[in-house]
Amino acid sequence: MTNDVTRDWLGDPEAQPDPVRAARQSGKPALPKRFYKEAGIAKAEDGYRLVLDGRPAHTPARRRLAVPQAALAEALAQEWGAQGEFIDPARMPLTRLVNSAIDGVANRREAVVDDLAAYAGTDLVVYRAGDPARLVVAQAAAWDPVLDWAHESLGARFMLSEGVMHVAQPQESLAAIRRAVEAVESPTALAGLHSMTTLTGSVLIALAVLHGRLTPQEGWAAAHVDETFQAEVWGRDEEAQARLAGRRTEFEAAARVAALSA
């Protein structure tokens, strides 16, 4: 690897990290050129490693890019294999999320669990519109099944609020959601759950996707009932839609990482 941008992003086991150089390079529009011909996986003591022309790839923190699940490793290899003349991180959501899991989540598990559990106190799906009637119906259709599932499967019952007035949730329900988050043992699955939650504002929707109660597409649609309604009433804003499309790609990638981490 001779390209400085690639070395700082992927990692080079023979070099020391240079965060200043990495920060400066990250602001440049030029993307690193593809430096490998083939991407694949190799079995090793730490699971399945991503290899580029037979050489182990690394995370930005210089850790080996390896996961326990062969299917997830294959998905990473496919993502790398799909790159063209240049390596575009924007088109590699799986790799970015797995890097985050290896470099951050694995060593900060308790903090990540705390952050996720906190969302239950102000979850998107409990704050409902009082009008217009069509939006009220749409929110109920999308969010009531999520609350029913949380009650039946996780033992968590939530109180609803109209508008943005804060409503305190039962402590036993908050504890039940925390237990559900703590039960996610894989760092990559936890990273996927965290990404889905922060992208939607709902740990309940994210958990429903993680457990297969909702498909990723259904989860994204449920989290954006309000935006869909506003677009139907006022028309679609192309710039806003483009931003949403990018976030949806990240959400679906997070759901895929979580699913492949099982």
CATH at 46 = 3.30.2180.10
Q: Average per-residue pLDDT in the chain?
A: 91
Question: Residue 32's domain spans which residues?
Answer: 4-88
Confidence of residue 68 (pLDDT cuts 50, 70, 90): very high
Kindly state whether residues 12 and 125 are assigned to the same domain.
Answer: no
Kindly state whether residues 72 and 136 are assigned to the same domain.
Answer: no
Which has the closest alpha carbon to 159: 125, 189, 190?
125
Kindly state whether residues 163 and 215 are assigned to the same domain.
Answer: yes
Q: Is residue 155 part of a domain?
A: yes
Lowest model confidence (mean pLDDT) among 41-50, 61-70, 136-145, 232-241: 232-241
Kindly state whether residues 117 and 211 are assigned to the same domain.
Answer: yes
Encode pLDDT of 120-130 as tens digits. 999 999 999 99
Residue 50 DSSP symbol: E
Average pLDDT over residues 109-114: 98
Predicted local confidence at residue 262, as pLDDT: 83
Encode pLDDT of 182-230 as tens digits. 999 999 999 999 999 999 999 999 999 999 999 999 999 999 999 999 9
- Is the pLDDT at 67 greater than 50? The verdict is yes
Predicted local confidence at residue 26, as pLDDT: 45
> How far is it, in rounded angstroms, from Cα 161 to Cα 107?
36
Average pLDDT over residues 99-125: 97
Contact criterion met (CB below 8 Å) for 96 and 79: no
Confidence of residue 29 (pLDDT cuts 50, 70, 90): low
Encode pLDDT of 30-55 as tens digits. 899 999 999 999 999 989 999 999 99
Q: Is residue 182 part of a domain?
A: yes
- Is the pLDDT at 239 greater than 70? The verdict is yes
Predicted local confidence at residue 28, as pLDDT: 54
Q: How many domains does the chain divide into?
A: 2
Does a cis peptide bond (omega within 30 degrees of 0) precede residue 93?
A: no
Kindly state whether residues 31 and 116 are assigned to the same domain.
Answer: no
- CATH code at 221? 1.10.3580.10
Residue 201 DSSP symbol: T
Contact criterion met (CB below 8 Å) for 211 and 198: no
Predicted local confidence at residue 183, as pLDDT: 98
Average pLDDT over residues 87-109: 96
Which has the closest alpha carbon to 189: 92, 116, 82?
116
Average pLDDT over residues 168-192: 98
Task: Say which residues have a Cβ less than 8 Å from residue 117's Cβ, sequence separation at least 6.
Answer: 174, 177, 178, 181, 203
Strands 66-67 and 127-128: unpaired
